[in-house]
Structure 1
Amino acid sequence: MDGMKKIAHLFARAGFGLRFADLQQMQHLSVKQTTDQLFKASEEIKQLNVVATNSSYKDADDALTKKMFLQQQRQLEKDLNIAWLTQMSSGDSQLREKMTLFWHNHFACRTQNPWYAQQLNNIHREHALGNFRTMLLQVSQTPAMLQFLNNQQNKKGHPNENFARELMELFTIGRGNYTEQDIKESARAFTGWGFNNNGEFAERKFLHDAGPKTFMGKSGNFTGADIIDTLLQKKETANFICIKLYKYLVNDIPDAKHINTMADVFYNSNYEITPVLKLIFTADWFYADKNIGNLIKSPVDFIVGLSRQFYVDYKNPDVLLQFQRTLGQVLFNPPNVAGWPGGKSWIDSSSLMYRIKIPSTVLNDGIIDFKGKTDPEDEAVLAAMPTTNVRKDVNTPVQSQPNWDRFLAAIPPGTSKTAIARLLLATPLSNNLIQMVNRAISIKALAIELVSTPEYQLC
C-alpha cells in the first residue's frame, strides 16, 4: 500500500479524515512518525466550558420560573452539543476528540443537567489518552453517572444494584465473568457513594455498608474503589476493553490474536491507553486491505469529517442538531446505558438517503427536508408547547459556508482527479466511480459528487 493511502487510513481511524493540508505535512513521514505527530497534536486538553455553573430549579418558587429554568437548561444542552461538535470539526487535537467520542459511548450516560454532562465529558477528554483506571474511578464518582445508574439511592440495608451491574457488564469485565452474587456484594461496597447539593462527589459514611463482603472469591470490608481494583486485576477486563477498541478502530469482526496482543499491552501497562493505541496504529495488520474502508462512519464521524475536510462554517448551528437526530446519534443522548450499537445499525434506507443528500446540501448551501428520528425528550418539549408555537415547516435552510478557497489551495498543482478521489474515498474506485471522475467538469464538482456517494459513508 502506498504511503498516502496509509496516512489517509490512519487519519480516518485516529481522527476524522485526512485533509490535503494534512497530507502535505505528513506525506514524507513514516507511519510511526505520523502517529507520533497525531499524539503530539493532541497533547493539549481543551476542555468544554459552555456551562458556567451548576444550578437547580428546586429554588424556583412558581411554575413559570421553573419552566423558564428548564428552557435555559435545554438551551445549554444544545450549546454544549454544538460546542463539542465544533471542537471536533475544527480543533487540532482530533485524536483526543476521537477517543473522547469512544469513551462517551463506552460510559454512555444521559442527564438533564448540562453541568453534569459537561463535567463527565471533560473527564473523558482529560483521560482519553491517559490511564483507564483513573478515568473509570472519576467517571464512577460523577453526579451524572451516579444519578443515571441510581447509586444516589444505594444505601446500607437497601442496596441498589444498578450501578454495580453496569460497571461489570458494560464498563469493565463483560458478561459471563461475574455472578449475580458478585453484583449483590459489590452493590453493598458502593453504598453511600453519591453527590451533594453542589454536585460534588460525597462518600456518605452513614449510608455505607461497612460489613464484610465476598467478591470474586475475595473477602473483606470492601469499598467501591476496592471493587474497581479487583475488576482491573482480572485480565478479562483488559480483553473486554480491547475488543471494543478493535471494533471502533479496526474492524467490526474481532481478531482474537490481535486483540490478545492489545490486551497484553493494556494490562501490563496498568491500563495506560496510549501504548495500546500506538500498537494499533503502527501494526502491519492495521493497514491490511480487509481493515480499510470496512467501517461505516457513525453520524458524528460523518458530520465532523465533512466539516473538517471542507472547513464548513454553519451560520445556523441548530442544523447540526437536526443532522444528528435525523441520522440517529445525538451527542450526550445515547439510547441507553449500552450506548449506540454502531456498525450496520447506523444505516437504514432513510438514514442512507439523508447521508447521501447532506453533503451536496451543505456544500451548496441548500435546503433540506428533515423528517428523521425525533428524540423522545424533544417530543415531550414540543407536546408541552402551545400549538401556535410549534413549527410545522421542516424545510430548513442549512446556511453553511464551506471554504472552497482553502480546500482548493491545499491541493498540490498537477494533482490528478483520480488522486483526489482516492483521498476522499477509502474504498477502491469502481468503474462507475472512475467514470464519474473522468466526466467531472471541475475539482469542486468532483468533490461534491464523491462525498455524495455511498462509498463516502465508509472509512
Structure 2
Amino acid sequence: MTISNLQKNKHLLLRAGFGANLSQIKNLDQVSLTEIWKKLATNDPLIPIQLKEAGPDFDYQQLSKMDAEMKKEIQKKNRRSNLEINLKFLNQMVHSEDQLREKMAFFWHGHFATRVVNSRFNLQLLNTIREKSLGNFGDLLKAVSQSPAMLQFLNNQQNKKGHPNENFAREVMELFTLGRGNYTEKDVQEGARAFTGWSFLPDGSFFERPRQHDFGPKTFLGKTGNFDGNDALNIILEQKGTAKFIVTKIYKFFVNEKINPGIIEHLSDQFYDSKYDIKKLMTEIFTSKWFYNEENIGAKIKSPIELMAGIMRTLPMQLEKPENLIVYQKLLGQMLLYPPNVAGWPSGNSWIDSSTLMLRLQIPQIWSGLRPLELEAKSDDDVEMGLKNNQMRNKGFKNPNIIIDWNLVESTFKNKSISDYLLQTKSSNEKIIEQFSDSSLKLKIINVMSTPEFQLC
C-alpha cells in the first residue's frame, strides 16, 4: 500500500499534536511533511495556565483544626479551581499553535500521574510539565519529584529518618524511570532513606527538613555514599535502563503499542547519549521514515481526550457551558487531573467497552444536536469536582449547548473526499454513509466522524 502525502501529514498532526485544525485541512494534501514538522518543532515561549481564583494555601495540620464549614468551603474552592485547570488545559490542546508542546505535556501528565485536592499544587505541576515537556528529562524528573503534588500524593512528607516511607522511592523507580525488574527491594529501602526529609511549605515551595533526613551511608543501585534525594535521582539517570524505559513508553504512546525492539534499542542509545534530550528524541521519531510505515498509521485507538480535542479542532464550536465537557471526560474514562492511580491511564483496547464505544461513536451526533445524551454519569462528587448538583444531573444537559460553524466547515470540505481527510484507514461503511447522508455535506461529515475508523489515529 502506498502512503499518500495527505495520509503522512495527517499521521504527523495526529501523533505530534491533536490532529489538523480546519485551517490546516484546506491545503493539507499540498503542504510538505517537512513544512508541517518545522512548524510543530518551533516552540513559542510558554504562557503558563493561570487561575481566576486559586485555592487557598494551607497545610494538613491547619486543616485538622478547622471547623466543618471552613473545610467545606476550602474543598469547594479547590474543586472549582481544579475544574478551571482541567478546561484550560483542554483548551490549550484544542487551540494552541504549539501542538507538540501540549501533546508532550499531555503524555507527561499521564506519566507523572498525581491526584491531589489542592488546586495550587495541581496547577504548579501542570505548568512545570508544560514548561519542561520538550527539554531535558533529568530536569523534568527533578522538578516533578520536588513538586508538592507529587510529594504529597506519594506520601514523602511521612518519609523520615528512622521511619522511612518507601512509597515515593518505589514509584519513582517503578513507574517514572527504570521500570519493574530493574531494581531490588534493597534499592527501594536505600532510596527511601535518600529521600527522607523531602517536603514542602504550605505555599508549595520545596523544602528539605534536615532533622528528618538520614545522613548515614547508603548503597543504592550499586553505588555507596552519603546520598540525598538529588544523588539518588542522578544515579537513576546514570542507568541505561532509564533511557530504555522512557523511550519504550514514548514509542507506545506516539508510534505503536506493538514495539519494534531494534528501533527501541537505537532510540534508547541516542536518548542516553544525548543526556536525555527529549526534543532531540521526538525529532528523531517524527522525521524517521519508519514512523510513516503502513503498520504505524491508524494503528492506535484515540484516548478520550485525543478524541474530544480532535473533534473540536475539526469542528470550530462555541460552548455555552464548557464545564459540560467534564461530563464527557468522566463518561469516557479520562478526566484530566484525575488519573485512576499513580500508574496513570491505561491505553489501547482499554479505552473501548460496550458503553464507551457507543458514546464515542455518538459524540459527533450529540454535539451537533442530532441526538440527546442518553447516559448519565455516576454520582461521585470527588471525581465530578463539585458538579454533582449541577450539570451532572441537570436534565437540560441532554442539550449540549454547542454551536458549530457549519458554514465554515462545509466550505472547507467542499469538493474534498471527507473520508480521506478525516480517517486514517479505509472505512467499510462508505456506502452506508452515502446512503444516510442524503447529499448533505454536514451530515456526511458527522457520519464519517461516527464510524469506528474515526476512533483510530
Secondary structure of 2:373's aligned partner: strand
Say which is worse superposed, 26-35 or 174-183, in terms of deviation: 26-35
Cα shift readout 1:193-232 (whole Å, capped 9, x = no counterpart): 0001222100111111111111111110111111111111
Cα shift readout 1:290-334 (whole Å, capped 9, x = no counterpart): 111111110000111111110122111121000000000000000
1:457 corresponds to = 455
Aligned partners of 1:78, 1:445: CA distance in 2, in Å?
33
1:140 corresponds to = 145
1:309 corresponds to = 314
Question: 2:160 touches 2:196 (CA, 8 Å); kept in 1?
Answer: yes
Aligned partners of 1:391, 1:243: CA distance in 2, in Å?
41
Change (3 A) 1:394 1:190: farther
2:49 matched to 1:48? yes
Aligned partners of 2:51, 2:9: CA distance in 1, in Å?
34
Aligned partners of 1:232, 1:373: CA distance in 2, in Å?
42
Runs of 4+ residues deviating >6 angstroms: 379-383
2:161 to 150, 156, 179: 156
Question: 2:22 touches 2:315 (CA, 8 Å); kept in 1?
Answer: no
Secondary structure of 2:224's aligned partner: strand
2:404 matched to 1:402? yes
- Structure 2 counterparts to residues 351-430 of structure 1, below 5 A: 351-364=356-369, 367-372=372-377, 375=380, 377-378=382-383, 391=393, 393=395, 396-411=398-413, 415-416=415-416, 419-430=417-428
1:283 to 274, 283, 288: 288
Deviation, 1:144, is 0.3
Aligned partners of 2:384, 2:320: CA distance in 1, in Å?
25
Cα shift readout 1:135-178 (whole Å, capped 9, x = no counterpart): 10000001000000000111111111000000000000111110
1:448 corresponds to = 446
Secondary structure of 1:367's aligned partner: coil
Question: 1:425 touches 1:456 (CA, 8 Å); kept in 2?
Answer: yes
2:35 corresponds to = 33
Deviation, 1:369, is 2.6
1:347 corresponds to = 352
1:271 to 250, 270, 276: 276
TM-score w.r.t. the length of structure 1 is 0.92
2:114 matched to 1:114? no
- Structure 2 counterparts to residues 89-108 of structure 1, below 5 A: 89-108=94-113
- What 5-or-longer segments of structure 2 have no aligned partner? none
Say which is worse superposed, 449-458 or 30-39, in terms of deviation: 30-39
Aligned partners of 1:316, 1:379: CA distance in 2, in Å?
15
1:436 to 433, 437, 454: 433
Aligned partners of 1:50, 1:162: CA distance in 2, in Å?
31
Change (3 A) 1:359 1:160: same
1:68 corresponds to = 73
Deviation, 1:19, is 3.2
1:14 corresponds to = 16
Q: Give the CA RMSD over aligned residues.
A: 2.3
Deviation, 1:53, is 4.3
Change (3 A) 1:163 1:394: farther
Deviation, 1:391, is 3.9
Identity %: 43
Secondary structure of 2:207's aligned partner: strand
Aligned partners of 1:252, 1:97: CA distance in 2, in Å?
21
Counterpart residue type for residue 48 of structure 1: I
Secondary structure of 1:421's aligned partner: helix
Secondary structure of 1:313's aligned partner: strand
Counterpart residue type for residue 47 of structure 1: P
Change (3 A) 1:390 1:21: closer
Question: 1:369 touches 1:394 (CA, 8 Å); kept in 2?
Answer: no
2:227 matched to 1:222? yes
Change (3 A) 1:185 1:376: farther
Question: 2:381 touches 2:387 (CA, 8 Å); kept in 1?
Answer: no
Change (3 A) 1:341 1:144: same
TM-score w.r.t. the length of structure 2 is 0.93
Aligned partners of 1:457, 1:183: CA distance in 2, in Å?
40
Say which is worse superposed, 46-55 or 65-74, in terms of deviation: 46-55
Change (3 A) 1:380 1:113: closer
Deviation, 1:74, is 1.1
Cα shift readout 1:96-133 (whole Å, capped 9, x = no counterpart): 11111100000000010011001101111001111111
Question: 1:194 touches 1:202 (CA, 8 Å); kept in 2?
Answer: yes
Aligned partners of 1:210, 1:263: CA distance in 2, in Å?
34
Aligned partners of 2:385, 2:21: CA distance in 1, in Å?
40
Question: 2:376 touches 2:392 (CA, 8 Å); kept in 1?
Answer: no
Change (3 A) 1:205 1:25: farther
Change (3 A) 1:390 1:96: closer
Aligned partners of 2:122, 2:391: CA distance in 1, in Å?
28
Question: 1:315 touches 1:400 (CA, 8 Å); kept in 2?
Answer: yes
Cα shift readout 1:355-396 (whole Å, capped 9, x = no counterpart): 11111111237531332455572489799x8xx999474853
Deviation, 1:72, is 1.7
Question: 1:133 touches 1:271 (CA, 8 Å); kept in 2?
Answer: yes
2:250 to 245, 249, 257: 245
Count of residues paired in the alignment: 450
